[in-house]
Structure 1
Amino acid sequence: MAIQTSHPWAAYLGRRLMRFLLSLALLVTATFGMVHVIPGDPVRAALGVTASPELIAARTAELGLDLPIWEQYGRYVTGLFTGELGQSMVSGLPVAQTIADRLPYTALLALVAFAVVMVTAVPVGMALAAWTRGGRRRGLELVFTGVSGLLAVVPEFLLAVALIVVFAVTLELLPVADVTGAMGPEHYVLPALALAAGPAAALARIVRVEGLGVLSSDYLRTARAKRLPARLIHLRHALPNLLTGALTIGGLLISGLIAGSVLVENVFAWPGLGDALVEAIKAKDYPVVQGVVLIYGGAVLLVNLAVDVALGKLDPRSTIRED
């Protein structure tokens, strides 16, 4: 039932917060259930078939996996509020420590990739809209459509391998990640390009289509009739009307960047959460998998909430529409 209030913005924000909390509760329950739906004994799977029964029993009790399922769930949820995500079955280290050590690398890589998307997609889409307006330069339009369509569908990990082969192995122009974590700005170039290429191509296509509509609007026809310079028309009149939609869509693309970073980090040996997740899956280290999946899922939910709130502010009409 929708929240009833005299203030449309409060009702809109309340609905979004309720949706976020419900999604977060489902995410927490799903991550908790991961260990219990996997066939077999997760402790034995993590320690190996040669582990003694005494060691398995001790580790099972240490992790609380011998308790009733409802009590395990209660301890899991309580631990989330205190920042306690359990211990690694393999290393014995706290999962929260693993996440704290690796999260900055993933977050910074995602931010760099997002910046690349916005800095390249908006100008390219706007320029292509201006150059191909009214059916002009059909050849350029076909080339742009083909290249951007190809980049939009190529998997991130495949593009990452291609970038390594060309720029790191063949041309030796750029390095791959340093597994020690001692990385400079040059180490971010290839992973950020691998993550940003597809979303940038998709956003550029959207900006171009929206730009064609804006450039055909009546107020821009009036501006051209006044013989204003083309640069002034495009930058002062057309671009501001594109930025709202571009930023909204760009915010949604962050979710894709977060998900795509898992395989890209593994390809580049990037010391982030994606690499930790893949390694934990290989080792059947389920507490680490739980913690990292929870962080990834929570980040996506937070981004979606932020986009909804920003859209409600930028477009007040959306605050009075029922979901």
Structure 2
Amino acid sequence: MTSAVAAPGLHGSPWLSLAGRRIGRFAVSLWVLVTMAFLMIQLIPGDPVRAALGLTAPVELVNARRAALDLDDPIWLQYVHYLGGLVTGDFGTSMTSGLPVADVIGDRLPATLQLALPAFAVVIAVAIPLGVLFAVLTRGGRRRGAELAFTSTSVLLAAIPEFLVAVALVAFFAVQLGWFPVAGSDGPSSFVLPVIALALGPASVLSRIVRVETLSVLGNDFIRTARAKRLPARLVYFRHALPNALTATLTVGGLMLTGMVAGTVLVENVFAWPGLGSSIAQSILQKDYPLVQGIVLVYGIGVLLVNLAVDVLLAVLDPRSTIRES
């Protein structure tokens, strides 16, 4: 009797259905990303090996490098070799250094994560409390001056490109005041300026989204009921209002935060940060296409993982979404 009831519940679980759809979507997106990364070299006009090694490179060296990269094989066979290499962690070989692309990425990826993860944490830690605070202060049309100041400042900060923010921070805090290093990643102080440059724009945008969504939630009946019960303000705002505001915030904020991937490329080059961002800029100038291919693939996978994490968080914060999608 128990098994007869449990089986249908497990079989028809909206969580399993949601997981299946999300995993399927991730797999398809990953396949498209891998295919586009493979075609990157194929669509380059001319001989990419000759372009990378230079016009004066000996023919023997060019032919040897083409053979090492399997570029003499039919395109379908190159694609099979490429997929097989990715499964085993082989991203190819750098045209300029001759090192495995996986080794170059492995050396540079930790530096990018050391910059991107703190910046992401700063965005969340600043944007959510700030958005909730100004929603509470300005609800019902109160404090028009504070609302105007918050909106104007956040719009202005969000409109400034990351590299301009980075250059301004270097010029003022590193060169003029000498408080922080100009470039490099030596010591904790070297993280301050690049993290601020990377997080400032996304935090400004996300705080505005949080404020708008929180204002919308604060006008609902269940918030008025919570206030009528004389619950403490922190419970009303952070237990009842914030989770409901975050469901819509994460949808837009997750897409916006993936833009930080491009921001790392610009910020790393301004601060000479030894990460993937500076590596991809150098590899493009050197026409090292396998390295560009591998770094683009890593960045793309990072974006897909962020989107998947946002989907999971939305399902946890709003279980009703699993039912609506069923």
Matches of residues 273-288 of structure 1 in structure 2 within 5 Å?
273-288=276-291
From 296, 301, 307, the counterpart of 1:304: 307
Q: Find the counterpart in structure 2 of residue 88 from structure 1.
A: 94
Q: Find the counterpart in structure 2 of residue 132 from structure 1.
A: 138
Q: Find the counterpart in structure 2 of residue 261 from structure 1.
A: 264
From 174, 178, 184, the counterpart of 2:180: 174
2:120 partner amino acid:
F
2:200 partner amino acid:
A
Q: Find the counterpart in structure 2 of residue 121 from structure 1.
A: 127
1:268 partner amino acid:
F
After superposition, give the CA deviation of every residue in 1:21-77 in whole Å (9 maximum; x if it has no partner). 111111111111111111111111111111122221121112211111111111111
Q: State TM-score, norm by structure 1.
A: 0.91
**Corresponding pairs, count:** 316
Separation in structure 1 between the aligned mates of residue 245 and residue 195 of structure 2, nearest angstrom: 24
DSSP-derived class of the 2:259 partner:
helix
Q: Do 2:250 and 2:314's aligned partners in 1 also have CA atoms closer than 8 Å?
A: no
Q: Do 1:31 and 1:290's aligned partners in 2 also have CA atoms closer than 8 Å?
A: yes
Shift of 1:237: 4.3
From 211, 216, 223, the counterpart of 2:214: 211
Q: Find the counterpart in structure 2 of residue 200 from structure 1.
A: 203
Separation in structure 1 between the aligned mates of residue 120 and residue 69 of structure 2, nearest angstrom: 38
Task: Identify if the C-alpha distance between structure 1 residues 236 and 303 changes in structure 2 by more than 3 Å, giving closer, same or farther.
Answer: closer
Shift of 1:120: 0.7
Separation in structure 1 between the aligned mates of residue 243 and residue 304 of structure 2, nearest angstrom: 28
Q: Find the counterpart in structure 2 of residue 190 from structure 1.
A: 193
1:271 partner amino acid:
P
Shift of 1:198: 1.1
Q: Give the fraction of aligned pairs with identical amino acids, expressed as a percent.
A: 63
Separation in structure 1 between the aligned mates of residue 236 and residue 307 of structure 2, nearest angstrom: 33
Separation in structure 1 between the aligned mates of residue 312 and residue 241 of structure 2, nearest angstrom: 24
Separation in structure 2 between the aligned mates of residue 241 and residue 27 of structure 1, nearest angstrom: 33
DSSP-derived class of the 1:132 partner:
helix
Task: Identify if the C-alpha distance between structure 1 residues 236 and 304 changes in structure 2 by more than 3 Å, giving closer, same or farther.
Answer: closer
The alignment status of 1:99 with 2:105, answered yes or no, reads yes
Separation in structure 2 between the aligned mates of residue 274 and residue 79 of structure 1, nearest angstrom: 23
2:147 partner amino acid:
E
From 259, 264, 272, the counterpart of 2:275: 272
Q: Find the counterpart in structure 1 of residue 166 from structure 2.
A: 160
Q: Find the counterpart in structure 2 of residue 27 from structure 1.
A: 33
Task: Identify if the C-alpha distance between structure 1 residues 82 and 283 changes in structure 2 by more than 3 Å, giving closer, same or farther.
Answer: same
Shift of 1:315: 2.1
Provide structure 2 residue ranges, at least 5 long, that are not aligned to the other structure: 1-10
Task: Identify if the C-alpha distance between structure 1 residues 46 and 208 changes in structure 2 by more than 3 Å, giving closer, same or farther.
Answer: same
Shift of 1:286: 0.5
Provide structure 1 residue ranges, at least 5 long, that are not aligned to the other structure: none
Separation in structure 2 between the aligned mates of residue 148 and residue 232 of structure 1, nearest angstrom: 27
1:134 partner amino acid:
G
Q: Do 1:175 and 1:187's aligned partners in 2 also have CA atoms closer than 8 Å?
A: yes
Q: Find the counterpart in structure 1 of residue 80 from structure 2.
A: 74
Separation in structure 1 between the aligned mates of residue 69 and residue 278 of structure 2, nearest angstrom: 24
Shift of 1:201: 0.7
Separation in structure 2 between the aligned mates of residue 11 and residue 237 of structure 1, nearest angstrom: 28
Q: Do 1:118 and 1:250's aligned partners in 2 also have CA atoms closer than 8 Å?
A: no
From 13, 20, 23, the counterpart of 1:7: 13
2:281 partner amino acid:
V
